[in-house]
């Protein structure tokens, strides 16, 4: 009896397991070949050989070239680009995945923004990453992008390879821009106005002008040379002391190609034994300035950034960087006209 009971129980267990297997849903089908795969397999291993990046649009072109260990913009005198932006682009390309095949009909490319990038009015962008021999590591036409606002949801874009008619919906971030200004770190310096202790202005064709800080915690600059200076405007003086607060440039060139006429030289003396010599230039309405620092380690860091370059800054900075005496003069208020009596009617 015991043996018969064991046989019956074993048979029931086998039948139950078979039923469970029949009820369990089948596994999902495998994705089509290439779907969800990397757009550029093995790209991370080949990127150390990258030497040039090209961005082409119908309304502009951008080239970024590798000079040794630094990537630069040739159109800006080989000024270094923002390395974090470059790193973001190259990382995005190594992680880009082709998720869904879309149209293979070239007549439908306009709807996805994947038309010929050089065609007038096109919205697409051609991106190429080349090695030193000119061989392409990456070639990609980038169309419309879909930016996700939800958390942990990746961005996506429509893409295709230049010589192929197959369009894809790709998942990943491709931060490519054809505007060179977006690749530049435009910060020049950020030195608080409280650090400025003395300013010596030697403007061409003008008498020497010296501004000295009172030394008080809440003090300000005042004109000490000439000694008979007229009453000054506090706002204008404050702008001189703020010359290097959040200073950014509009454009940059090599110092050897500095445009315009030299306006003179201004020496800014700051705390911690730092001094900055500004040599502004003027071309039409544009103000350009060459900067040099004197002092210890801080000066060395600033010179490493400034040496060899001339920066275009806002034209309003002329009165702060190399002011005239009249630029600092307090403006007299116009007298209020006397009220005339009404004309009596005849």
CA 127/CA 141 separation, integer angstroms: 6
Sign of the torsion formed by the C-alpha atoms of 76, 79, 85 and 91:
positive
In a structure prediction context, what are the per-residue pLDDT tens digits for the chain, which is 346 residues long?
455 554 444 555 444 444 444 444 444 343 344 467 999 999 999 999 999 999 999 998 999 999 999 999 999 999 999 999 999 999 999 999 999 999 999 999 999 999 999 999 999 999 999 999 999 999 999 999 877 666 667 789 999 999 899 999 999 999 999 999 999 999 999 999 999 999 999 999 999 999 999 888 778 999 999 999 999 999 999 999 999 999 999 999 999 999 999 999 999 999 999 999 999 999 999 999 999 999 999 999 999 999 999 999 999 999 999 999 999 998 764 445 555 555 656 4
Domain ranges of the chain: 37-183, 187-328
Element (H, E) at 298: helix 297-306
Q: pTM of the full predicted structure?
A: 0.80
Distance set, CA 138 to CA 39, 58, 110, 127, 305 (Å): 9, 20, 22, 7, 32
In this structure, the number of other CB atoms found within 10 A of the CB of residue 81 comes to 20
């Amino acid at each position: 009896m015991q043996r018969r009971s064991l046989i019956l129980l074993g048979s029931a267990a086998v039948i139950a397991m078979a039923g469970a297997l029949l009820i369990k849903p089948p596994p999902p089908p495998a994705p089509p070949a290439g779907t969800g795969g990397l757009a550029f397999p093995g790209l991370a291993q080949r990127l150390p050989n990258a030497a040039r990046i090209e961005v082409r649009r119908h309304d502009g072109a951008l080239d970024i070239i590798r000079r040794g260990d630094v990537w630069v913009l040739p159109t800006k005198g080989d000024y270094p680009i923002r390395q974090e932006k470059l790193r973001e682009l190259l990382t995005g390309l190594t992680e880009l995945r082709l998720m869904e095949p879309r149209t293979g009909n070239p007549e439908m490319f306009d709807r996805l923004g994947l038309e010929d990038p050089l065609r007038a009015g096109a919205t697409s962008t051609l991106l190429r990453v080349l090695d030193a021999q000119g061989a392409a590591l990456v070639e990609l036409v980038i169309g419309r992008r879909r930016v996700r606002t939800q958390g942990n949801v990746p961005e996506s874009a429509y893409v295709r390879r230049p010589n192929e008619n197959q369009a894809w919906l790709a998942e990943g971030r491709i931060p490519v821009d054809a505007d060179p200004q977006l690749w530049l770190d435009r910060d020049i310096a950020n030195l608080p106005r409280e650090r400025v202790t003395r300013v010596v202005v030697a403007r061409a064709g003008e008498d020497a002008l010296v501004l000295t800080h009172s030394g008080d915690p809440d003090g300000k600059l005042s004109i000490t040379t000439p000694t008979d200076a007229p009453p000054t405007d506090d706002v204008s003086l404050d702008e001189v002391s703020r010359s290097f607060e959040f200073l950014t440039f509009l454009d940059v060139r090599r110092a050897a190609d500095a445009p315009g006429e030299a306006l003179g030289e201004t020496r800014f003396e700051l705390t911690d034994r730092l001094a900055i010599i500004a040599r502004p230039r003027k071309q039409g309405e544009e103000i350009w300035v060459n900067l040099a620092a004197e002092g210890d380690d801080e000066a060395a860091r600033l010179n490493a950034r400034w040496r060899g370059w001339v920066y275009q800054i806002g034209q309003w900075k002329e009165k702060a960087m190399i002011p005239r005496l009249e630029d600092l003069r307090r403006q007299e208020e116009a007298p209020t006209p006397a009220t005339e009596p009404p004309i009596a009617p005849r």
